[in-house]
Structure 1
Amino acid sequence: MRSPKLRPSFQESLVTMAEDLLWQRAKTLITDAQCDVGLIDIPAHKTSISPTNAHLTPRAIREALTRYSTFSYTTNQNIAAQSIQDLGEIEDADSNEATTIEVINKANKNLTIALGGDNSITYAAALGVYGSNLETAGLVTLDAHHDLRDGISNGSPVRRLIEAGLNPKRIVQIGINDFSNSYDYAMRARDLGITVISRTELHEIGITKACAKALEIAGSANGPIHVDLDVDVCDRSVVPACPAAAPGGISAFEIRQAARLLCQDQRVKGLDITEIDATKDPEDARTVRLAALLILEALSGYLKR
C-alpha cells in the first residue's frame, strides 16, 4: 500500500513562488543556531481514536511558513528579530515519550513550540516544559474536547498529566463544544475542578477576557504554563483537515489571537499545535496554513513580553 502524501498542488506551488528581497519569508526564521525559542516536531499518530496521518503534518506546517512574511501589521513588529531554533523531530514519537520529555527539558527554552501529530503529544510536550516544576505548573487548552478519556490516546493527555501530578485546579479549557463530549467526562472535569470556558461563554466574554482568565488560573502558582492548541476547537469550515472538528467551533481569528495573547505571558513556556491531518486538507491547504500562522502569532506574542 502506498504511503499517503501531501497534495502535489500544495508542494508545487511553494516551489514556484516568486522571490523578493524586500519580503522576508517566515520560514527563514528557523535556524540551527542557539536561541530562546525552539521548534520541535512530534509526529505521533498511532493511538489516535480516529484514523489519521497527522505524522505528516509537521513537515507541511514548516513548508507553509513559506507563504507568510515576518511582519505583524497589528503590532508593527518584524518578528525576524527573534529566530526559532530547530530542535528536530522525535523519531517514532508514539513509543518515545520519554525522549520527547528529555529533549524539551534539556533544551530549556523560554518558549518551546511543538508540532503534532495528534493530541497525545500534549502529555510529553507539557512534561518536558514543566521539568521539576510540575507541582506549580498550569495548563491551558483550546480544544473542543476535555481529553480526559481512560487509556492512552489522543483523547487522554489531560487525564494523564493529572495522574502525573498536575493540579487540575490549574487547568483551563477554552472552547469546549456542545455534543463533542460525553456527560461522564464533563462530570469528571467538573469533579476534578478544571475550569471550563465553553464555546458559548467564549462567545459572550470574548477571546481577550478568556485568555486573561486562563492565565490567572493556570498561572496562580507562578509556575510554568503549557498551552495546547488542538486545532479541532475551530469551526470545521476553517479546519477541514481536523477529523474531530465540528460546525460551530471557534473562528480562525480567535485561535490566532489566543496564541498571541497567551504567549505574551512569560510563564508560558510551551505551546503545541495538534490534531491536523495534512493529507485531508483541500487544495488551498487552509488548515495547515492556519497552523503555520499560529507559530507566527505565538512568536509575535513572545516578543511583547
Structure 2
Amino acid sequence: MFIQPEWQWKQENGSGMHQWIKQKENPQPSDVDIIVYGALLSYASESSKKAQYPHAFRKAWSSFQSYNLDEQVDLRALAVVDIGDVAIHTTDKMISESAIEAAAESLSVAYQKSFTCLIGGDHAITACSLRGIKNAFPQDRIGVIQLDTHLDARNQEEIGLAMDSPIQQLIAAGVVEGKHIYNVGLHGFFNSPEMIHYAREQGIHMITLKQMRRDGIQLTIREMLRQLMFEVDRIYVSVDLDALDITFAPEVPAATPGGLTAYELFDIVKLIGENEGVRHIDFVYADPKEGELRIETVKTGVTAFLQWITGIQLDHRHRIAKK
C-alpha cells in the first residue's frame, strides 16, 4: 500500500526537522501523534509524471528546526512519523485514486488517535482521502474546511475526471453535506456563476478574503471551527496552495493576484491546529504544469505544515496546564 519515499533522511537524533520526524513503515499506534504520507498523483502535468511536491517537501526539512521561536514551543514533544507514499499506478489514475482512498481508510482505522496529514499531489486526492475516511467511519458526520481560491465544484459530467471537482464529487457521493463545507479564501474573478450558484444551492459556506480580512482572521476561523464542532464528528482541512497570492506561489498553476499572504496562511493553519476536532489535513496542488517547483513555494508549504503542528502542540500544552 505504501512505498518508501524517494527522498529519505538518515535516522538520527537532533533538533532539525529531518532528525525529529521519523521515516519508518508500520509504526506502533501508541508511538505516533501525527502520521504523514504522500500521494504522487498529478493532473497538472502529463499522465506519466508524478507530483513533485511530496519529494520537495521532504527534501526541504533540513532547512528547518523543531523550535518555533514566535510561540516558544519545541515540536519534538510530538511524535511525527512519515510512512512514505501511496503506491499509485503509473498511468491509470482511477486505480491511483482507489489506492489513495484505501490508504486513507487504513490509516484512519489503524491510527484512530493520531492526526493524519496527506501531502500531494493534486487536489483530486482530497476527495479520495475523504472517501477513505468515510469508509472507516461511516456513521460520522464530516466537516470540511477548504482553503482555496476556487470552489472546486465543477460538474464532473461536463468535464470528466478532473482536479477541480473534488467538492462536487464528495457531495454527490454523500460523503459530505454542503452545509458542512466552509470554503475560505475566495476572491476576485476566478469562480464561474454556475459554480457559485451550485455552492449556494448546496449550502456551502463561502467566506471571501475581503470578508475575513474585514472581520479578522482569528474571529472568522474560531467561529467557523466552533460551528463545525457543534455540527459534525470530525473535521478535515484541505490546504490548496493556490489560495496563496501569486507572489508567494508564483509557479503554482492556479495561483492568482489578491490571494492569501503567507503570514495569513500561517495564522490560519496554526488556529486550525489548536482545535482537536480537526483530525485530518492535506497540503496539495503545488505542482507547476511545467518546470520545477521553486524553493520559495516549497518552504512556504513546509512552514504552513509546521504552523499546523505548532497549533496542535499549543493545544496540548493548554490542556495540560488546565489539568
What TM-score, normalized by structure 1, do the two folds share? 0.86
1:67 pairs with 2:67: no
- Alpha-carbon separation, structure 2, partners of 1:51 and 1:203: 38
Q: Where in structure 2 are the equivalents of 1:41-60 lying within 5 Å?
A: 41-46=38-43, 48=44, 55-60=51-56
Of 209, 218, 230, which aligns to 1:220?
A: 230
Task: Give yes or no for contact 1:240–1:281 (8 Å, CA) kept in 2.
Answer: no
- Residue aligned with 1:125, SS: helix
Please say if 1:147 is aligned against 2:152.
yes
- Equivalences for 1:31-110 in 2 at 5 Å? 31=22, 32=24, 33-34=27-28, 35-46=32-43, 48=44, 55-92=51-88, 94=93, 95-108=95-108, 109=111, 110=114
TM-aligned CA deviation for residue 250 of structure 1: 0.8
Residue number in structure 2 paired with 1:241: 251
RMSD over equivalenced CA pairs, Å = 2.3
Letter in 2 for 1:181: N
1:24–1:69 contact (8 Å) kept in structure 2: yes
Change (3 A) 1:232 1:221: same
3-state SS of paired residue (2:164): coil
Change (3 A) 1:196 1:187: same
Q: Which runs of 5+ in 2 are unaligned?
A: 1-6, 316-323
Q: Contact (CA 8 Å) 1:172, 1:217: kept in 2 or not?
A: no
* Structure 1 portions without partners, runs of 5+: 1-10, 16-20
2:212 maps to 1:208: no
1:24 to partner: Cα distance: 1.9
CA distance in 1 between partners of 2:232 and 2:276 (Å) = 10
Q: Structure 2 CA distance, aligned partners of 1:169 and 1:117?
A: 27
Alignment pair present for 1:163 and 2:163: no
Relative to structure 1, is the Cα distance of residues 164 and 87 closer, same or farther in structure 2, using a 3 angstrom cutoff?
farther
Query: Please, what TM-score do these two structures have when normalized by structure 2?
Result: 0.81
Larger RCO (CA within 8 A; separation ≥ 6): 1
Contact map agreement 1:101 1:127 (CA 8 A) in 2: yes
Q: Distance in 1 between matches of 2:187 and 2:148?
A: 8
- 8 Å contact kept, 2:252–2:285: yes
2:104 counterpart letter in structure 1 = I
Which one of the candidate residues 289, 313, 321 is aligned to 1:303?
Answer: 313
The offset of 1:98, in angstroms, is 2.7
1:3 aligned residue: none
Partners of 1:133 and 1:219 lie apart in 2 by 18
- What is the aligned length? 283
Q: 1:107 to 1:23 in 2, by over 3 A?
A: closer
Assess if the C-alpha contact under 8 Å between 2:52 and 2:293 holds in 1. no
Structure 1 residue 138 and structure 2 residue 143: aligned?
yes
Q: Residues 23 and 69 of structure 1 are in contact (CA less than 8 Å); yes or no, is this contact kept in structure 2?
A: no
Judging changes above 3 Å, is the alpha-carbon distance between structure 1 residues 288 and 124 closer, same or farther for their aligned structure 2 residues? Answer: same
For 1:199 and 1:246, the matched residues in 2 are separated by 13
Q: Does 1:177 pair with 2:182?
A: no
Matched, 1:128 2:124: no
Within 5 Å, give how 1:3-22 maps onto structure 2.
Answer: none
* Identity value in percent: 24
